[in-house]
């Protein structure tokens, strides 16, 4: 696809139509990833298929390790990263869950691996359609987590993620997530940047471990004790100290994430809010919709209609989910009156995860904003503009009546179509 910039009369041949999956694959190619190991799963499979095609055509000099499961794929990635290679993979849903055992190993060993996650609902029952359940489940394993809204952002965030993860002040793995099918299989214009400019932005990896360098003996996966041990060879940290270091690195990575985002914006001319979250029409807004990914995208349509009704409403689209940017969010929301949260996930047994984490972050603010949460779009159910508009009206009506609750409402359910539905009997065995 050739795009003409009418203002400057310039033809930009680097803008092409790409699916979200292929945007991720091109980012891996231009990041010059050295080792990829993956196992196919819908809807991410086209990511690694395209990478394999690049390798076959000689466009990417890398080793593609074929394995029998996602668990093995991440195990290979961990081993390859420990030998000093730039490493990445992709997965979805139960593939990510099968990797779960290796996720904290990658983080604990401070291995800068990048996973692309095309989000997908978790079974049972089986669904290949999107929600954010898989993305949410790994929030406590020590990975940096990004959520994207469009295919250009997928490409750009991958390039940023490698630079962030490989920064000596960070050395942590990261996940770049985007909605399955809505982005993974939908084509959008994506600008692929000049390779030389990318090489300037993303220099070769200088790994802190690099077991392939046999001139310096190093260990990995140490067996620790509860306490620090002093030996003739040196003092050995305890497990507690290792985990403290992981936590502090995650916390401190927010500054590096902003720094890399701003450097990328200066070099390539594209930015995503402050690198942490994106805002839409928030300057005069007293009411804010808080969401991420496809839900935030749909909310952009909804606020046009809500503003036409006279509401001063805007959007905060969360880009960085982990580490959780509580300080930045507190600063932004301190003067707002109302927040309506739309979660495409559930913290089962409580409420939507975005909702309760935001409540926790804003807990100690004097005169905090009122917060109401809704669940939408599980299992790929359409998130319609009317759902968001109705949710906003319902929340504001409850606020006026003084109703404040942790009860989460579900929007877009069609229980009336289940004529014999009764919560007390519906799942009773027969």
Residues 155 and 302 in one domain: no
Domain with residue 316: its CATH number is 3.40.50.920
Q: Where does a domain end: 150, 170, 201?
A: 201
Q: Where does a domain end: 172, 201, 230?
A: 201
Q: What is the pLDDT of residue 415?
A: 78
Residue 377 resides in a domain: yes
Domain with residue 174: its CATH number is 3.40.50.970
Q: Cβ atoms within 10 A of the Cβ of 404, count?
A: 11
Query: In sequence order, what are the residues at sequence separation of 6 or more whose Cβ sits closer than 8 angstroms to the Cβ of residue 2?
Result: 11, 12, 13, 15
Assign 342 to helix, strand or coil. strand
Tell me whether strands 229-231 and 3-5 are parallel, antiparallel or unpaired. Answer: unpaired
Closest CA to 27 of 191, 261, 251, 262: 191
Q: What is the pLDDT of residue 10?
A: 46
Q: What is the pLDDT of residue 254?
A: 98
Residue with tokens 């360098």: 213
Residues 191 and 283 in one domain: no
Residue 308 resides in a domain: yes
Residues 197 and 86 in one domain: yes
Q: What is the pLDDT of residue 144?
A: 98
Sheet holding 63-66, edge to edge: 63-66, 35-38, 87-91, 114-119, 174-179, 144-147, 320-322
Residues 105 and 14 in one domain: yes
Range of the domain at 354: 277-417
Residues 296 and 151 in one domain: no
Instruction: Tally the residues of the chain.
Output: 430
Cis geometry, peptide bond prior to residue 256 (ω within 30 degrees of 0): no
Residue 207 resides in a domain: no
Residues 191 and 284 in one domain: no
Residue 221 resides in a domain: no
Residues 197 and 281 in one domain: no
Tell me which DSSP letter residue 209 carries.
-
- Terminal Cα distance for the chain, rounded: 58
Residues 184 and 284 in one domain: no
Residues 191 and 281 in one domain: no
Count of structural domains within the chain: 2
Residues 191 and 304 in one domain: no
Residues 187 and 282 in one domain: no
Residue 270 resides in a domain: no
Residue with tokens 């928030």: 282
Indicate the pLDDT class of residue 418, thresholds 50, 70 and 90. confident
Q: Where does a domain end: 176, 201, 226?
A: 201
pTM: 0.93
Residue 246 resides in a domain: no
Residue 146 resides in a domain: yes
Residue 250 resides in a domain: no
Assign 219 to helix, strand or coil. coil
Residues 45 and 147 in one domain: yes
Judged against a pLDDT cut of 70, whether residue 108 lies above it is answered with yes
User: Average pLDDT, stretch 117-131?
Assistant: 96
User: Average pLDDT, stretch 383-405?
Assistant: 95
pLDDT per position as a tens digit, 247-279: 999 999 999 999 999 999 999 999 999 999 999
């Amino acid at each position: 696809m050739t795009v003409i910039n009418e203002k400057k009369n310039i033809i930009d041949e680097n803008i092409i139509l790409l699916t979200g999956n292929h945007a991720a694959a091109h980012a891996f190619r231009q990041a010059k990833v050295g080792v990829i190991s993956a196992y196919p799963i819908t809807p991410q499979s086209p990511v690694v298929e395209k990478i394999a095609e690049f390798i076959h055509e000689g466009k990417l000099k890398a080793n593609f390790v074929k394995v029998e499961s996602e668990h093995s794929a991440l195990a290979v990635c961990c081993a390859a990263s420990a030998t000093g290679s730039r490493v990445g993979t992709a997965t979805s849903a139960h593939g990510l869950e099968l990797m779960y055992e290796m996720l904290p190993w990658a983080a604990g060993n401070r291995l800068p691996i990048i996973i692309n996650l095309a989000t997908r609902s978790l079974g049972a029952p089986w669904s290949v359609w999107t929600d954010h359940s898989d993305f949410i489940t790994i929030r406590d394993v020590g990975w940096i987590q990004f959520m994207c809204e469009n295919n250009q952002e997928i490409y750009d965030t991958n390039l940023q993620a490698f630079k962030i993860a490989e920064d000596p002040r960070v050395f942590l793995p990261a996940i770049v997530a985007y909605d399955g099918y809505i982005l993974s299989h939908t084509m959008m214009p994506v600008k692929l940047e000049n390779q030389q400019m990318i090489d300037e932005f993303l220099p070769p990896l200088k790994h802190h471990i690099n077991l392939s360098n046999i001139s310096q003996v190093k260990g990995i996966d140490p067996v620790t004790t509860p306490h620090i041990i002093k030996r003739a060879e040196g003092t050995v940290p305890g497990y507690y100290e290792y985990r403290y270091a992981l936590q502090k690195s995650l916390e401190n990575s927010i500054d590096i994430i902003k720094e890399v985002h701003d450097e990328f914006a200066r070099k390539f001319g594209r930015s995503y809010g402050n690198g942490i979250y994106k805002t839409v029409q928030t300057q005069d807004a007293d009411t804010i919709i808080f969401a991420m990914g496809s839900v935030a995208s749909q909310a952009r349509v909804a606020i046009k209609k809500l503003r036409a009704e006279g509401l001063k409403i805007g959007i905060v689209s969360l880009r960085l989910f982990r580490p959780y940017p509580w300080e930045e969010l507190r600063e932004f929301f301190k003067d707002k009156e109302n927040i309506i949260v739309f979660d495409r996930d559930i913290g089962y047994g409580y409420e939507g995860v975005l909702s309760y984490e935001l409540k926790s972050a804003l807990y100690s603010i004097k005169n905090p904003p009122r917060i109401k949460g809704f669940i939408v779009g599980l299992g790929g159910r359409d998130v319609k503009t009317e759902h968001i508009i109705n949710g906003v009206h319902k929340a504001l009506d409850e606020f006026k009546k003084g109703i404040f609750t942790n009860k989460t409402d579900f929007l877009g359910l069609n229980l009336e179509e289940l004529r014999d539905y009764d919560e007390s009997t519906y799942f009773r065995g027969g």
